[in-house]
Amino acid sequence: MNDSEPDLQAERRSLRHEPRSARRADQPGQQRPSPLARSRDPFEDRLPVLRERRLNERRAHTQERLPAVSSFATWTAEELPTPDAPFDTDERDVLLTELIAPTPTYRPAPLRRTVRQPVFPWRLLAACAISIIILYFFWHDADPARICFAPGCTAREQTTQGRTIAQAPDLPAPNGQHSVLGPPSISAQQIDRILAEWRSPAVGTGATWVELGIRYGIDPAYALAFFIHESGAGTAPGWAGRKPDGSTTHNVGNIICAGYRTCYGRFRDYASWEEGIEDWYRLIAVEYVQWRGVHTVEEIVPIYAPAVENNVPTYVSTVNRLVAEWRASRARS
């Protein structure tokens, strides 16, 4: 045995006890593992402790947010407290009723309104004063205004019964029209004769027709013609002025009531023929001639007897024909 044999044997023994991983790392083409690969981080040992601490903090925070609930303890029959007074059954019923009663509905509180200080109504007072002044001048003029609904008018009756219209206004009649204004064209005797021919209950009033016609400046022939056309001189079977006892309203023109002091049905009721005849003259002279400015038969009839109730053309032609016949008869006599 030479000197190199012991060295060779020692080398073999060292290789036998050397780990395989070390021996593989010495082989060409392989990397030696890093010494830190199998090292342990000391911080990893504290991770479970930190996780447990955070979990406990979350549980404590959650318990603080939950409402506190008193713990129930178990009591034995001997440890239960005894009431000082026996429990009233009526009180128990009241408590049960309150427990099972329906929940009251929610009602919002009413809004509070600010209280305003009372203010004197100056504007309202001024408006009332102006209205009173306007009404005063409206009703106290020389010729009081009246609302007219022909053939009768809502009006205040003139207190002066003896008022006379001395002269008729000089109003020219348009071509083809017939004015009711003017002196009498027929006499009182002729009027009585015409009323007798019609068997009128107004026979004997001829002088009244002429006298009032002169007073109001209206030809009595037109007044008589209106009387005959409206009621057949008081003899028409369907005349509204005839009463059950045989008397009449003496309403020669069928003037509607419209605020008159005495009425029969919807028409005025007069005490005598003189009163009824004069009211017709006053109606035409004041409300048609003076206020409306109309004075011909063609202008008066559409207002006096509107088309909704009468045949206006027939009414106009009848009045003009009767007046023409009476004037011609007087001229022949």
pLDDT digits (tens, 9 = 90+) for 252-298: 999 999 888 999 989 999 999 999 999 999 999 999 999 999 999 99
| 36, pLDDT greater than 90 | no
> Does 162 have pLDDT greater than 50?
no
Find the range with the poorest average confidence among 5-14, 143-152, 321-330.
143-152
Helices assigned H by DSSP within the chain: 4-17, 20-25, 47-65, 89-100, 122-139, 188-197, 206-216, 220-231, 273-282, 297-304, 312-332
- In this prediction, residue 88 carries a pLDDT of 62
* Per-residue model confidence (pLDDT) at position 42: 62
Confidence class for position 142, pLDDT limits 50, 70, 90: very low
Average pLDDT over residues 168-193: 85
The predicted structure's pLDDT at residue 120? 72
Residue 207's pLDDT band (boundaries 50, 70, 90)?
very high
pLDDT computed for residue 146 by the predictor? 40
Q: 39 or 137: whose pLDDT is higher?
A: 137
Per-residue confidence at 32, pLDDT binned at 50, 70, 90?
low
Q: Report the largest interatomic distance among the alpha carbons of the chain, rounded to a whole angstrom.
A: 207
Question: Which of the pair, 26 or 159, is modelled with greater confidence?
Answer: 26
HEC secondary structure over 15-46: HHHCCHHHHHHCCCCCCCCCCCCCCCCHHHHH
The residue among 264, 242, 246, 243 whose CA lies nearest residue 255 is 264
Least confident segment among 11-15, 60-64, 138-142, 154-158: 154-158
pLDDT of residue 124: 85
Q: Which two tokens stand for residue 246?
A: 């045989």
For residues 323, 321, 330 and 216, what is the CA-based torsion angle, rounded to 10 degrees? 0
Tell me the DSSP string of 164-178: ---S----PPPTT--
Angle at 206 between CA 272 and CA 309, to 5 degrees: 65
Top pLDDT among 67 and 197 is at 197
Whether the per-residue pLDDT at 17 is higher than 80: the answer is: no
To the nearest 10°, report the CA torsion of 170, 174, 176, 180: -30
Instruction: Specify the pLDDT at position 216.
Output: 94
**The tokens 């045949």 sit on which residue?**
311
CA separation for the pair 75, 80 (Å, rounded): 6
Percent of the chain past pLDDT 70, that is, above it, reads 59
Phi, psi of 329 (to 5 degrees): -65, -40
Q: Average model confidence (pLDDT) for the chain?
A: 76
Question: What tokens were used for 233?
Answer: 């001189």
Q: Please report the sign of the dihedral spanned by the C-alpha atoms of residue 196, residue 331, residue 315, residue 249.
A: negative
Residue 330: which pLDDT band, with cuts at 50, 70 and 90?
confident
How far from 319 is each of 139, 161, 180, 286, CA to CA, in Å?
A: 35, 28, 10, 20
Rounded Cα–Cα distance for residues 326 and 91 (Å):
110
Least-confidence region, from 25-39, 82-96, 111-125: 25-39
Mean pLDDT, residues 175-182:
89
Q: How confident is the model at residue 104, as a pLDDT? A: 57
Pairing of strands 263-264, 152-154: unpaired
Has residue 153 got a pLDDT over 60? no
- Degrees to nearest 5, angle at CA 29 with 24 and 33: 55
Residue 55 has pLDDT above 60, yes or no: yes
